A and B are shown apart, each in its own frame.
Chain A
Amino acid sequence: MPNILVVEDSPTMRQLISFAMKRIAGSKVIEATDGVDALKKLSSEKIDLILCDINMPVMDGLKLVSLVRGSPGYKDIPIIMITAEGAEEDRKRALAIGANAYLPKPIQTQELIKLVNGYISK
């Protein structure tokens, strides 16, 4: 039963992504509104995959990814970035920091589910 952490400040996107993730059999969705909130959830729940926005208040997605990758307990959790920044350099930057995949908005739900299923089955 995979636990998926959705980190997104926009309630609309958070609900939409959670909605899609709940369609993955047996998955449990945990929501966080920013990077700091995500770190709190990481310490209290066992997380199998993180879906993370880049532009967020308090702590952005890139900072969160670098902190997660630097932490021995969480460094192997797959992270998929979901962002409105669709330029190639943004994608490269996110992957260089340690994100496993990069999905530009507006997201295609089927594509997202397929991607998440790929990481969960590993």
Chain B
Amino acid sequence: MERETSIGKKADEFLQMFRKGEEFTQELLKENERLRFKLAQLEDAVERSGDEAKVRLYEERIKVTEDELNSLKERFRQVEEENKDFAAKYVEVEDENNNLANLYVASYQLHSTLDFNEVLRIVLEIVINLIGAEKFAVLLMEEKTNELIPVGAEGLAISDVPKVRFGEGIIGTAAREGESYFSENIHNNKGSNSMENPIVCIPLKIKEHVIGVIAIYSLLIQKKKFSNVDYELFNLLAGHAATAIFSSRLYTQSERKLTTIQSFLDMLKEKPRR
């Protein structure tokens, strides 16, 4: 009986131990499951944080690239502006070159001869071809009579151009003042039918001494207005044409005098022989 009680007690103790073991196992299983869940969460977090870092990296790269693109765009815009400036300057330099070529040719031609008629022809050519005048006349100062006498004309008969008294009318005043005259009618290309009222009057001057005048009455139909180079040409004509005309006149006169003196000397030499 006592032995049976002892076996029952041991069985209870074993049962209790077994139950505790079961409970412990249950707890271990729960803990394991909890840890597995935690691990899965951590793994997921690690994975997610890796993607975010990559996204941040890519975003930074995009930002740098965008900044570079904007900087390149700005540089491109600046280069384009510079190009435009260069193109404008190139056109300006080309225009200036062409103008200088015109002035050089005009000056070269004016001083290429000492023949008065040829100089006069060159002046007429310059006024037609480089300035674009249709009707005009060249008048030279006659000191003895104090008059401006027509010596050459284009687009009109020289006989139609009247002599002008120094200081009288537009032509005479331009000669006296030594200042160029430009009519208000230039830019509507109407021209002038009156020989006393040219649309442009350019005094031919050697320093301040006026030796003549170029009077323009109308421009070629296609010539709508004067450009900067035209005014430069007027200045050039005022000085260079005057010098060329004056020199050629002096040369022609001296040639004539030389021929006369030579003939006179020849006559003197011939006399003793008789």
> Residues of A with Cβ closer than 8 Å to B?
10-13, 15-16, 19-20, 84, 86-87, 104-106, 108-110
Contact = CB atoms under 8 A, between A and B. Distances in A.
Interface stretch (B80-88, B176-184, B218-226, B262-270): B218-226
24 contacts: A10-B125, A11-B122, A11-B125, A12-B105, A12-B106, A12-B109, A12-B126, A15-B105, A15-B108, A16-B102, A16-B105, A16-B130, A20-B101, A84-B220, A86-B220, A86-B222, A86-B223, A87-B221, A104-B222, A105-B220, A105-B222, A106-B130, A106-B220, A109-B101
Interface string B113-124: 000000000100
Contacts of A108: 98
Given A15-B109, A84-B129, 7 more contacts: A10-B125, A11-B109, A12-B106, A16-B102, A105-B132, A106-B220, A109-B98
Contacts of B109: 11-12, 15
Contact of B131 (A13, A16, A106): A106
Contacts, number: 59
A30 to B, nearest CB: 18
A109 to B, nearest CB: 4
A36 to B, nearest CB: 21
A84 B98 CA distance: 19
Contacts of A13: 125, 129
A104 B101 contact: no
Contacts of B131: 106
A86 B78 CA distance: 44
